Amino acid sequence: MTDEGPFQLIPLPLGQWSTNCYVLISGEESIIVDPAAEPQRILAAVEGTMVKAILLTHGHPDHVQALDAVRQATAAPLGLHPADPAEFGIGGDFDLHDGDVLTLGDGELTVVHTPGHTPGSVCFRFGRCAIVGDTLFSGGPGHSDTPEALAQILASLRDKVFAWPDDIVFYPGHGEGSTIGAVRPAFEAFMARPRPPGLCGDVEWV
Ligand SMILES: [Zn+2]
Ligand SMILES: [Zn+2]
């Protein structure tokens, strides 16, 4: 558990794919990002708070295994970007759009649309932190299904994520996070090199 600016941030690696669910708490309120699996562990983390919303970074199955159970137990509204529901069969209660600001207690988080891993992938910026889902990992961009999707995720990273200051700490959908500044040299070197045509999938910076 760490204290991240306006929020207390609780990372919970859950389920068979070790997908990171993140619980944000401010005062009496909380937000659950990506209820990946093991609903009882998520519910224990938010116990005693009013769950204001459940948010998805994107609609992939490994990020929503506990969604139904957590929704039922908390009655909290579900927010996700409108580009993902059609593809993944998830009906949200409200849409997340680029630039939306959500309040939680005394703090705010901003929605940043970063398509590429999926059409509706988003990141959540708050304080000096960001939850980035499967858009960015220390070792490379998130998985891309096609060369076009890779081009799209790289554009999202160039125009939005790497426009953030170097001291921003990012929290990915799997594994440990890092800072933007720590990954920037590898990202920039990758962007400066010619890429083999057809490149996509689990791409690494080096
Ligand atoms: Zn994913
Ligand atoms: Zn994932």
**Spatial separation of the C-alpha atoms in residues 159 and 151, rounded to whole Å:** 12
Ligand 1 centroid – CA 117 distance (Å) = 7
The domains of the chain are located at 2-192
Give the three-class secondary structure for 164.
coil
Length of the chain measured in residues: 206
pLDDT for 4 equals: 61
pLDDT for 138 equals: 95
Ligand closest in space to the Cα of 117: 1
With the C-alpha atoms ordered 180, 16, 119, 51, is the resulting torsion angle positive or negative?
negative
pLDDT for 3 equals: 56
β 136-137/140-141 pair status: antiparallel
Per-residue pLDDT of the chain (206 residues; tens, 9 = 90+): 565 678 999 999 999 999 999 999 999 999 999 999 999 999 999 999 999 999 999 999 999 999 999 999 999 999 999 999 878 889 999 999 999 999 999 899 999 999 999 999 999 999 999 999 999 999 999 999 999 999 999 999 999 999 999 999 999 999 999 999 999 999 999 999 999 999 999 999 99
* DSSP label of 57: S
Ligand closest in space to the Cα of 153: 1
pLDDT for 41 equals: 98
Domain 2-192 superfamily per CATH: Ribonuclease Z/Hydroxyacylglutathione hydrolase-like (3.60.15.10)
pLDDT for 93 equals: 97
Cα radius of gyration rounded to whole Å, the chain: 16
**Spatial separation of the C-alpha atoms in residues 125 and 111, rounded to whole Å:** 7
Ligand closest in space to the Cα of 18: 2
H or E segment to which residue 181 belongs: helix 180-192
pLDDT for 5 equals: 74
H or E segment to which residue 187 belongs: helix 180-192
Ligand 2 centroid – CA 142 distance (Å) = 9
Kindly state the tokens that stand for 46: 């938010």
Q: What is the pTM of this model?
A: 0.96
pLDDT for 1 equals: 52
